[in-house]
A and B are shown apart, each in its own frame.
Chain A
Amino acid sequence: MDPIAAKYIGAGIACIGMGGAGIGVGHIFGNFLSGALRNPAAATAQFTNALIGAALAEGLGIFSLVVALLLLFAV
């Protein structure tokens, strides 16, 4: 296979990982909202924790993005 083509295919495959991060972040905010609707009084105190969780989940997706970018530009 042409190595450049393989590189681009690899970058595309690496980006699938971003979808997992999207699912994770969606889970976090969805569950946060359903919890917040049940107990709105406790929601504001927990919003920070929701953001931290979202950031952690998103960080893993960013890893795959970085891998994709490395494949595209740096390898």
Chain B
Amino acid sequence: MANPIDPIHQFRLHDIAGPWNIAGYEISFTNSSLFMGIIVAFVTLFLLASAARGALVPGRLQSVGEIWYEFIHNMVRNVLGNEGKAFFPLVFTIFSFVLVANMLGMFPYFFTVTSHVVVTATLAVFVILLVVAVGIARHGLGWFKLFVPSGVPMAILPFISLIEVISFLSRPVSLGLRLFGNMLAGHIVLKVFAGFVVLLASMGIGGIIGSIAPLGMAVALTALEFLVAFLQAFVFAILTCVYLNDALHTHH
């Protein structure tokens, strides 16, 4: 496949500054790092701008900021209850980071931070470690009763516990891979259909007419990808809340 329509090319990292090494690990400032910085700057500036005027009757910018805030606020309150207030900034940060990363990735020539498995896996592992830490801090070692459901006959309890442990361990895997897979697959499919347009259009007049079909498909997929970008950020945030809820209120 030629380089301009190689669907994998968009995920390639290249150093912007560096390479730097710390303790033998290369930590060059890549385009991925650059876009992480852009995400941080965008989220912060957007929220500060929307909160700057503090008008009683919000304008457009302020409305968006407030919807953003209240969306996560309500989600945390509904899932975690009143104790969840301490986790609101964290859930908000996770949601905003993932949402803006996904949305920025939809622009041509922009890098999608969440399309690299290491980023999403790090976030997911962080969430699960936090869940374990909060659970042990709240309930002590009694928190591990989560894996031993009550009211189960002794005979099958070991198997049930095993299944519970496996399902708990599969949470970070599924949490990280879901976001990564959605982003990666969406972008690859988009580029493949866009590549069809280029290929067909280079084949003469019939190809140009025929390329309308994949072009329409690419437009529809772009709309779908915007939906997926929001939905996956939402799912990541709400699953974080649900898992944290297991740590806060263990009633198995």
Contacts and interface: CB of A to CB of B under 8 A. Distances in A.
A and B touch in the complex (CB under 8 A): yes
Contacts of B182: 58, 62
Contacts of A59: 174-175, 177-178, 181
Contacts of B75: 48
Interface in B181-215: 181-182, 184-185
B72 to A, nearest CB: 13
A65 B235 contact: no
Interface string B81-120: 0000000000000000000000000000000000000000
Nearest to A73: B8
A55 B179 CA distance: 10
B160 interface: no
B171 to A, nearest CB: 10
Given A62-B182, A65-B185, A73-B8, A52 B235 contact: yes
A56 B236 CA distance: 11
A13 interface: no
B143 interface: no
Interface in B1-16: 8
A52 B177 contact: no
A51 B185 contact: no
Interface string B153-178: 00000000000000000000011011
B21 to A, nearest CB: 25
Contacts of A65: 181, 185
B139 to A, nearest CB: 24
A69 interface: yes
Contact of A55 (B8, B78, B235): B235
Interface string A31-75: 000000000000000001001100110111011011001000100
A64 B186 CA distance: 15
22 contacts: A48-B75, A51-B231, A51-B234, A52-B235, A52-B238, A52-B242, A55-B231, A55-B232, A55-B235, A55-B239, A56-B174, A58-B182, A59-B174, A59-B177, A59-B181, A62-B177, A62-B178, A62-B182, A63-B177, A63-B181, A69-B184, A69-B185
The 9 closest A-B pairs by CB, nearest first: A62-B181, A55-B235, A59-B178, A59-B174, A66-B181, A65-B181, A62-B178, A65-B185, A66-B177
